[in-house]
Chains A and B, each alone.
Chain A
Amino acid sequence: DAGITQSPRHKVTETGTPVTLRCHQTENHRYMYWYRQDPGHGLRLIHYSYGVKDTDKGEVSDGYSVSRSKTEDFLLTLESATSSQTSVYFCAISESGRGETQYFGPGTRLLVL
């Protein structure tokens, strides 16, 4: 998985609780992305980062926030989890060009009850 780890790998939480997912890379790549994968929707971009403290919204950013204080770490926070945020979350990284050659992590399976 190209030096990408995600934690936790599985999480069950209750509606209304905050949740933070972590993506950690050892490749020193500039760009990092968060996607969610749902049946019937494929993968959709939530947020992305183009450098430390530089982030922007993706297609499905409502209800999510991100932070990147170090090159190697990109955090995704669900401020108040809802059942519609039950999904598999993937982090991706890329070095060459904006958006090209993205490598994905192993994913975090999140269940919101």
Chain B
Amino acid sequence: GENVEQHPSTLSVQEGDSAVIKCTYSDSASNYFPWYKQELGKGPQLIIDIRSNVGEKKDQRIAVTLNKTAKHFSLHITETQPEDSAVYFCAALLRSGGGADGLTFGKGTHLIIQP
């Protein structure tokens, strides 16, 4: 199966600065990598995703990069704002012939934006 490692577990940045969260995955056959934001007491919210045929994707202040050779992908948030404070999860999708197509998640990064 797939294994996803996520770092750091906690990240504190000044408002307006950039934040970077990194994940590595174990199975080179994984081909879809989403990022989720989870606020306290709520379900995870999909914020951006990338497929293995793409190296980078941007959506306003958020970007994701993928390095297939090294098997790692990163979330970049620029010009951080207080509302970016949350727990962020990376995930990887490994499709198998007859098995589960659920996501394998990292353990999360608690992002704290300092005013």
Chain A interface (Cβ < 8 Å from any Cβ of B) = 1, 4, 31, 33, 35, 40-45, 48, 50, 56-59, 90, 97-107
Contacts and interface: CB of A to CB of B under 8 A. Distances in A.
A85 to B, nearest CB: 18
Interface residues of B, number: 25
Interface stretch (B12-20, B64-72, B78-86, B93-101): B93-101
A106 B44 CA distance: 8
A42 B38 CA distance: 11
Contacts of A101: 34, 46, 49
A104 B43 contact: yes
Interface of B: 1, 32, 34, 36, 42-46, 49, 89, 91, 93, 95, 98-108
B75 to A, nearest CB: 15
Given A42-B89, A56-B100, A59-B1, A99 B95 contact: yes
Contacts of A102: 34, 46, 103
Given A42-B108, A99-B32, A104 B44 contact: yes
Contact of A40 (B104, B105, B107): B107
Contacts of A41: 107
A100 B34 CA distance: 8
B9 to A, nearest CB: 10
Contacts of A103: 46
B100 A48 contact: yes
Contacts of B34: 100-102
Given A99-B95, A102-B34, A45 B102 contact: yes
A107 B43 CA distance: 6
A58 B102 contact: yes
A84 B98 CA distance: 28
A50 B32 CA distance: 18
A43 B42 contact: no
